[in-house]
Structure 1
Amino acid sequence: MLKHWPPLNALRGFEAAARLGSFHKAAEALNLTQSAISQQIRSLESYLEQPLFHRNGRSVSLTDAGHDLLSTTQSMLQQLAVGIRRLDQYRKPNQLVVNTTPAFARHWLLPRLGDFRQRCPEVDLWLFTSFEVPDMASQTIDLAIRDDLSAQAECSFSVLHQDQLYPACQPSLPAAGRCTLHGEREMDWSHWQVEGGEDVGQQGKGLNFSDPGLLLDAACEGLGIALVSQLLAQRAVAEGRLQALSPQRVRGPAWACLVHRDSQDDPLARGFLEWLRGELG
């Protein structure tokens, strides 16, 4: 990587002069004097230690090095412009940035967002999903709702819902030779056994999933039996895509919330949390 970069203004002046084929037209386009453009080009050529333009009176044309640099500069300036425009999303007046897991977003939150939009149309929600717990102190996140949270500095922490787990599969899946689907943490069958769960034909071999959302999807697709979250499986059960293999329930993960201190008095965050608590029951 270069230790020193040419000034951005010099690159903008070069790009305009190269694109328009004239120092004079470049000066008009950038609202500068022609002498300022000429100075920018000379400083850039001095930095690169080679000419970028052939000069013939008032007309200029690119050297081979200039043609090469033009494509690079235009690509860089375009990417920079897109990146700067994208920053507008961080200063929307009614934006609320919510972090959660992909599984919670897909199986629980997404089916209910229509209701939230009707109740709180003023909230410009940005749903940011991640497998890893965010660092609320260093990331631009108003609140996080996850099943793997613990207290963090500069945040309020509260448990919203204590989940339960049970074994389930697709209703039409034959009982004979059912594959066992394995998850991680509480969704592992060892947790079911430690909590005193009955034998439903689970085996040590089978298919393994690190994402509880994919585990639930696999069970709904008829790939086997799985230990699923009662919270996340609500919709699949209601739609007849999943059925319980036992009336027994065991302790699941605790769904908790972190609210950054800068958002604790924000009416948008309070409104979202009130709606969320009401939906979780």
Structure 2
Amino acid sequence: MLKHWPPLNALRGFEAAARLGSFHKAAEALNLTQSAISQQIRSLESYLEQPLFHRTGRSVSLTDAGHDLLSTTQTLLQQLAVGIRRLDQYRKPNQLVVNTTPAFARHWLLPRLADFHQRYPEVDLWLFTSFEVPDMASETIDLAIRDDIGAQAECSFSVLHQDLLYPACHPDLAAQGRTTLHGEREMDWSHWQVEGGEDVGQQGKGLNFSDPGLLLEAAGEGLGIALVSQLLAQRLVAQGQLQALSAQRVRGPAWSCLVHRDSQDDPQARRFLEWLKVALAG
């Protein structure tokens, strides 16, 4: 990391002059004097301790170092412009930022978002997924719906749904020689055994997945048997891609909600939570 950075204005002046091939045209494009552009580029060359332009009368052309810096500068300025434009989303009056896991978003929430949008078209929902639990005190998040969270400072906490787990596979999967798919936390077969689950032919070896959503999709694709979330598997079961291997169910994760204190009285958050609770109970 550089200890000292060249001024942003000098980089803008350099980029304009290099792109347009003229200090005069760069000055016109940036509403500056030609003298100001010349000074910016001289200060940048002094900082870099090497020339960036060949100067021949009124014409200028880039040195090799100038060509190299132009590519870097254009990328930098473009990324900065995109980042600044992206900040507009934080000014939307009806915006609601919801954090959840990729598995919940993909397998449960996404298929139901059309219903939410139809009921509450005024809510500008921003769905932010992450594998890691967010720090609600430092991140711009109104509420989080996850199966891996507990109470946090500056938030209200509530359990929305107690999930159940069961072993499942694709209906066409052969009865013998099935590969065992392994997940983490409650989706690990050791949890099924500790909870008294019956033997369905699971083995210690097989394929391993850290993402429960990917584990569920692998089972639906016929890659093997897996311990799946009853909540998240609903769509694949309805589509005929998954069938249970046992009538037994064991305790799964608790889907819980964190609502930031600044959003507890927000009507957008209230509407989303009301809709969510009805949908989870359905």
Q: Check whether TM > 0.5.
A: yes
The TM-score, its normalising length taken from structure 1, stands at 0.91
Cα distance in structure 2, aligned partners of 1:147 and 1:224? 24
User: CA, structure 1 residues 51+157, in 2 after alignment: closer, same or farther (shift >3 Å)?
Assistant: same
Query: How far apart in 1 are the matches of 2:18 and 2:157?
Result: 57
DSSP-derived class of the 1:133 partner: coil
Deviates more, 1:265-274 or 1:183-192: 183-192
Q: Report the Cα distance in structure 2 between the residues aligned to 1:44 and 1:92, rounded to whole angstroms.
A: 39
Please list the CA deviations of residues 106-160 of structure 1 after superposition, one character each: whole Å capped at 9, or x if unmatched: 1111111111111111222221211111111222211111111101111111000
1:70 is displaced (CA, Å) by 2.8
The alpha carbon displacement at 1:85 in A equals: 1.9
Q: Cα distance 1:210–1:21, how it changes in 2: closer, same or farther (>3 A)?
A: closer
Residues in 1 aligned to 2:65 and 2:187: alpha-carbon distance in whole angstroms: 60
Q: Summarize deviations over 1:158-215 as a string: whole Å, max 9, x none.
A: 0000011112222232322233222221122222222222222222232222222122
Per the alignment, do residues 61 and 240 of structure 1 end up closer, same or farther by CA in structure 2, a change over 3 Å counting?
closer
Instruction: Indicate how the Cα distance of structure 1 residues 167 and 30 shifts in structure 2: closer, same or farther if over 3 A, else same.
Output: same
> Could you tell me which residue of structure 1 aligns to residue 12 of structure 2?
12
Q: 1:49 to 1:161 in 2, by over 3 A?
A: same
Distance 1:55 1:220 in 2: 66
Q: Count residues in correspondence.
A: 281
Displacement of 1:95 in angstroms is 2.1
Give me the whole-angstrom Cα distance separating, in 2, the residues matched to 1:225 and 1:218. 9
**How big is the shift at 1:224?**
2.3
- Cα separation, 2, equivalents of 1:211 and 1:95: 28
Give the distance between the partners of 1:173 and 1:71, measured in 2 at CA: 53
- CA shift digits 1:241-274 (9 cap, x unpaired): 2222222211111000111112112111111111
Percent pairwise identity:
90
* Shift, 1:78, TM fit: 2.1
SS across alignment from 2:160: strand
RMSD between superposed Cα atoms in Å:
1.9
* Distance in 2 between residues matched to 1:11 and 1:156, nearest whole Å: 47
Structure 1 residues 23 and 182, CA, compared in 2 at 3 Å: closer, same or farther?
closer
Counterpart-to-counterpart distance in 2, 1:25 and 1:41 = 14
- 1:97 & 1:173 partners in 2: Cα distance? 40
SS of the aligned residue for 1:9 comes to: helix
Q: Deviations over 1:29-84 (max 9, x none)?
A: 11122322222222222222333334445444444443333333223222222222
- Does the C-alpha gap of structure 1 residues 26 and 173 become closer, same or farther in structure 2, counting only changes over 3 Å? closer
Q: Provide the rounded CA distance (Å) in 1 between the counterparts of 2:23 and 2:229.
A: 67
Structure 1, gaps ≥5 residues long: none
SS in 2 for 1:55: strand
Correspondence for 1:103: 103
Q: Which whole-Å CA distance do the structure 2 matches of 1:54 and 1:98 have between them?
A: 53
Specify the alignment match of 2:178 in structure 1: 178
Distance 1:72 1:227, change over 3 A: closer
Q: Secondary structure at the match of 2:276?
A: helix
| Cα gap change, 1:49 to 1:173, in 2 (>3 Å) | closer
Report the counterpart of residue 223 of structure 1 in structure 2.
223
Indicate how the Cα distance of structure 1 residues 102 and 61 shifts in structure 2: closer, same or farther if over 3 A, else same: closer
Helix, strand or coil at the partner of 2:43: helix
- CA 1:52 to 1:195, structure 2 compared with 1: closer, same or farther past 3 Å? closer
Specify every segment of 5 or more residues in structure 2 that has no aligned partner in the other structure, as ranges: none
